[in-house]
Amino acid sequence: MLLTVTVPAGWAGPLRRAVWILVAVATVSSLGYAVSRREVPVPAGQMPGYEGAVAGLVAAQGLLLVLIAAVTLARRRAQPAGSRALLRGLGTPLVAAMSVTVASAYTATLVFRTADQLDRGRIPDPIRNNPPALGPLEPPVGYWWAALAGLAALLVVSAAIAVTLPVARHRRRAYARHVVERDYPDAPAEATPRLDAVRSTIARSFVTDELGPTFVAFFVISSVGLATVALDLIGIGPTQLVARLGRRHDTLAVLTAYVTDVGIWVISLLVIGLLILGYRPYRSPETRRLVGVLWDLGTFWPRTVHPFAPPCYAARAVPELARRVTALAAQGPVVISGHSHGSVLAAATVLQLPPEALPHVALLTHGSPLHRIYARLYPAYLGEQALRDVGDRIGWRWRNLWRDTDPIGGPIFADPGLRAHLPPAAGAVDVRLRDPRSVVVEAPDTVPPPVERHWHYHTEPEYREAVRELVDDIRADAPG
């Protein structure tokens, strides 16, 4: 229900309480049944109904993924011409497929690790039977397919990265070389190591833009995994399928069992890695910053998108910022400055301002992912039409500072197909900054200026100049 229905804000509390009540009733009922039953026959193989329940769950998830993909493809036809959404607008089914695949793989690992402990270290398998003294432990075949699909997805994604990045490296290096030659045409010979470092930084900043084929490969593997739904429903696992196809060649079935075992162990190591990643932010500022970026990205959206996470901070921050800006606009010019994810909040605030405040407001974004990430990943909410609306509402009193070395931020209206439908004033929005300012030591410093990448835009002289220009534009355009 949480995946298919948008729950109104007023229903969120009652729905959450109802879910907790159902969980409590199910838990108490299960414990009561376990205590009241004195003599329970020991089932052979699996718990009654367990196989069917898991198969039904996998089938329901597969059906939901198909519906999400169908709706996404239908909505693509409504996109304006020239729109370039990430993965051609298939980001939603991709994230859904990734969630289902990871959740299924982790669940399978938990079940197999538990069974591994219960049968004294022997991984259960229908081909390699346990000794009679231990008893048969046969997890649902859906978990076998999940473990095998998790290993296949990991191998395919790793292979896609290994192929994609070297293929795109020449293009990224050529662009970086062009930028360096344009920015530092008269660099002395002693600055060669510094120029090489700048070129490498620029090339690395575009690595994330080259991972599209990797995501496509993952989506294909996840989609192929849906074909196992039919096999789940009839209870045929990987080893059983190979045994039937190979007939007398039991070696292939045993080999498949070992490959599946490897998948289980690999996913177990990934779980350990996830736990380490959860601990690293307490010790590493860089890891804490990365996790913070991902956390901000997720919790920006309403709670129906992430029902088990903290409440959406944008639902509180944007209205409060809009009220603050409205009050200040009644007293004089207001420049809303937003860095990185703050630029998303700033743009959302502009869309929420009342008409009487707009003539007194300008927007300054820097290191902004508005177009590079949000317009491409969430085109239905912060797409190119929304960005045009932001510019129109404030009379295009907008400056966006960006650098080629920035791996997150970028230009907003650099696409020629997009700029063709914009007023001439939109051409002044994007302001590119040279980074670093110089590749030689400037007096009285003893080292060359640092490569700032995504940080410290507010210390640049272009930032102060943009503020002055925007204030002058407000005073020139404001009525009265």
User: pLDDT for 51-63, tens place per residue?
Assistant: 777 777 877 887 8
**Amino acid letter for position 149:** A
Q: Is the pLDDT of residue 1 over 50?
A: no
What are the phi and psi torsion angles at 366 (to 5°)?
-150, 140
Eight-state DSSP code of residue 80: P
What is the pLDDT averaged over residues 13-36? 81
Of 305-319, 355-369, 438-452, the poorest mean pLDDT is in 305-319
What pLDDT does residue 83 have?
A: 54
Say which residue the tokens 């074909």 belong to: 227
> Taking a C-beta distance cutoff of 8 angstroms, is the pair 133, 249 a contact?
no
What is the pLDDT averaged over residues 171-190? 92
- pLDDT tier for residue 366 given thresholds of 50, 70 and 90: very high
Q: What's the predicted TM-score (pTM) here?
A: 0.77
What pLDDT does residue 160 have?
A: 78
What pLDDT does residue 170 have?
A: 85
- pLDDT tier for residue 3 given thresholds of 50, 70 and 90: very low
Q: Is the pLDDT of residue 407 over 60?
A: yes
Half-sphere exposure of 273 (CA within 13 A, CB side): 7
- pLDDT tier for residue 335 given thresholds of 50, 70 and 90: very high
What pLDDT does residue 339 have?
A: 95
For residue 405, the surrounding DSSP H or E stretch is none
More confident residue, 77 or 257: 257
What is the pLDDT averaged over residues 141-170? 79
What pLDDT does residue 8 have?
A: 55
Q: Is the pLDDT of residue 476 over 70?
A: yes
Omega of the bond leading into 311 within 30 degrees of 0 (cis): no
Q: Is the pLDDT of residue 4 over 50?
A: no
